[in-house]
């Protein structure tokens, strides 16, 4: 690798998803020397811009009643695996995060009355999530906002190593098309997203290989970096047959369906009570911590080798889908304080690479809210650190 360039900046942000962009915008309003690097293409990579649904929802609390409900739900489904004060901040600032998106020009789906429609997110019964019109429209709004704030961008540039000298963060070694770039910076924010794409079945873009975890793992002892909840992946059932179709989750609770392994072993979910099936109806991802995980466990026990589970319509005898769990996101990550600070002064983290705001199970729409709330906080704190 040739050493081509030395860059000097106050703040380098690694990753250009919801977390990295909101951090950059918040920091740029306080300091003027902010650089984002992204190994993927700008506004096209990461789960924020490139996911199989081409859209996402953001959950937020508009008033105290919604806030109390949301905070209680997070604490209740997390069963002690979240950090309650971070969850509280997330809920309290979720509405500002949503309003920030509106101020960027992001468009949301409307109801029949022409107002933004809110739906019940996973693990909730109250309508608290607004859904964007498309990732494309979101990308255009972000692009405009970043342009307007004059944030500097370095696309297709991959952070390879965090540099520490005398117990202080001093910069990043990065690569661009096989050439080395030494970025000297006073602070950095790691916003590299999750690691879903290291798994053979995932619904993210292929670049999400968890680089942030590796960058931080490499300095773990020197910088006292700690991780938590890394065993809690968020997985969803997807079809693997050709031509691939989207699996209708409702097959899980419709009595006409039977589940069969490729070796012919069958299981039905009829024997489970309606109470547990009704709980399973409230979320798309397979739960890690709730009682209704039993539903998915029955299916998982049919297929220990990852060959796929056939979903058979009892009336027609036809196999309508062959399904497997696909990784969507990671609920674990690096432990930070309320402003994304790690134990190493000058080094911050935000977004899916972090953990604690939710636990082993996460309320739908709360990851985008998390990226925006703690991205903004990390951006401001990094700017303050410099000042």
Nearer to ligand FAD, 261 or 355 (CB): 355
Q: Please state the closest distance from residue 45 (CB atom) to ligand FAD, in A.
A: 4
Cα–Cα distance measured from residue 336 to residue 14, given in angstroms and rounded to the nearest whole number = 16
Nearer to ligand FAD, 83 or 172 (CB): 172
Nearer to ligand FAD, 39 or 260 (CB): 39
Is residue 6 within 8 A of residue 361, CB to CB? The reply is no
Is residue 144 within 8 A of residue 42, CB to CB? The reply is no
Q: Please state the closest distance from residue 210 (CB atom) to ligand FAD, in A.
A: 8
Q: Please state the closest distance from residue 129 (CB atom) to ligand FAD, in A.
A: 7
Cβ neighbours for 163, distance < 8 A, ≥ 6 positions apart: 169, 170, 171, 172, 173
How far, in whole angstroms, is CA 65 from its chain's centroid?
A: 26
Nearer to ligand FAD, 19 or 86 (CB): 19
Choose among 239, 208, 240, 214: nearest CA to 227: 214
H-helix segments, 293-365: 293-300
Q: Which helix (H) or strand (E) holds 20?
A: helix 18-28
Q: Please state the closest distance from residue 249 (CB atom) to ligand FAD, in A.
A: 14
Residue nearest to ligand FAD (CB): 17
Cα–Cα distance measured from residue 121 to residue 127, given in angstroms and rounded to the nearest whole number = 7
Q: Please state the closest distance from residue 274 (CB atom) to ligand FAD, in A.
A: 27
Nearer to ligand FAD, 48 or 287 (CB): 48
Q: Please state the closest distance from residue 318 (CB atom) to ligand FAD, in A.
A: 28
Nearer to ligand FAD, 197 or 290 (CB): 197
Nearer to ligand FAD, 77 or 208 (CB): 208
Which residues sit at the interface with ligand FAD, rule CB under 6 A?
Answer: 14-20, 37-40, 45-48, 51-53, 56-57, 158-159, 191-194, 203-204, 207-208, 211, 328-329, 351-352, 364-368, 371
Cα–Cα distance measured from residue 369 to residue 163, given in angstroms and rounded to the nearest whole number = 30
DSSP single-letter state for residue 285? S
Q: Please state the closest distance from residue 21 (CB atom) to ligand FAD, in A.
A: 7
Q: Please state the closest distance from residue 327 (CB atom) to ligand FAD, in A.
A: 9
Instruction: Compute how many other C-beta atoms are within 10 angstroms of the C-beta atom of residue 65.
Output: 10
Strands 168-176 and 158-165: antiparallel
Cα–Cα distance measured from residue 119 to residue 131, given in angstroms and rounded to the nearest whole number = 8
Nearer to ligand FAD, 38 or 82 (CB): 38
Cβ neighbours for 274, distance < 8 A, ≥ 6 positions apart: none
Instruction: Compute how many other C-beta atoms are within 10 angstroms of the C-beta atom of residue 322.
Output: 20
């Amino acid at each position: 690798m040739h050493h081509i360039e030395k860059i000097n900046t106050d703040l380098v942000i690694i990753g250009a998803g919801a977390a990295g962009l909101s951090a950059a915008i918040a920091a740029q309003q306080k300091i003027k020397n902010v650089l984002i690097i992204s190994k993927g293409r700008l506004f096209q990579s990461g789960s924020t811009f490139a996911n199989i649904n081409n859209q996402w929802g953001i959950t937020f609390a508009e008033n105290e009643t919604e806030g109390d409900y949301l905070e209680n739900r997070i604490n209740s489904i997390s069963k002690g695996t979240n950090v309650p004060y971070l969850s509280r901040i997330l809920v309290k600032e979720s509405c500002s995060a949503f309003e920030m998106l509106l101020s960027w020009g992001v468009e949301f789906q409307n109801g029949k009355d022409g107002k933004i429609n809110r739906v019940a997110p996973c693990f909730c019964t109250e309508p608290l999530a607004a859904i964007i019109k498309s990732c494309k429209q979101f990308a255009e709004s972000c692009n405009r906002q970043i342009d307007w704030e004059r944030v500097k961008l370095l696309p297709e540039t991959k952070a390879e190593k965090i540099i520490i000298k005398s117990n202080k963060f001093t910069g990043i070694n990065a690569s661009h098309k096989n050439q080395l770039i030494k970025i000297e910076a006073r602070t950095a924010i790691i916003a590299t997203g999750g690691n879903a794409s290291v798994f053979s079945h995932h619904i993210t873009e292929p670049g999400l290989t968890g680089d942030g975890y590796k960058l931080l793992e490499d300095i773990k002892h020197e910088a006292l970096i700690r991780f938590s909840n890394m065993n809690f992946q968020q997985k969803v059932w997807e079809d693997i047959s050709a031509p691939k179709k989207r699996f209708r989750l409702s097959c899980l609770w419709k009595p006409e369906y039977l589940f069969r392994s490729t070796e012919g072993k069958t299981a039905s979910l009829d024997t489970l009570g309606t109470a547990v099936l009704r709980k399973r109806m409230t979320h798309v991802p397979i739960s890690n911590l709730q009682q209704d995980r039993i539903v998915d466990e029955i299916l998982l026990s049919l297929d220990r080798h990852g060959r796929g589970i056939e979903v058979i319509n009892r009336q027609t005898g036809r196999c309508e889908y062959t399904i497997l769990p696909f990784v969507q996101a990671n609920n674990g990550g690096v432990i930070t304080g309320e402003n994304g600070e790690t134990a190493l002064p000058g080094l911050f983290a935000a977004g899916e690479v972090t953990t604690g705001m939710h636990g082993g199970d996460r309320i739908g729409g709360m990851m985008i809210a998390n990226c925006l709330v703690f991205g903004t906080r990390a951006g401001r704190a990094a700017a303050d650190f410099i000042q």
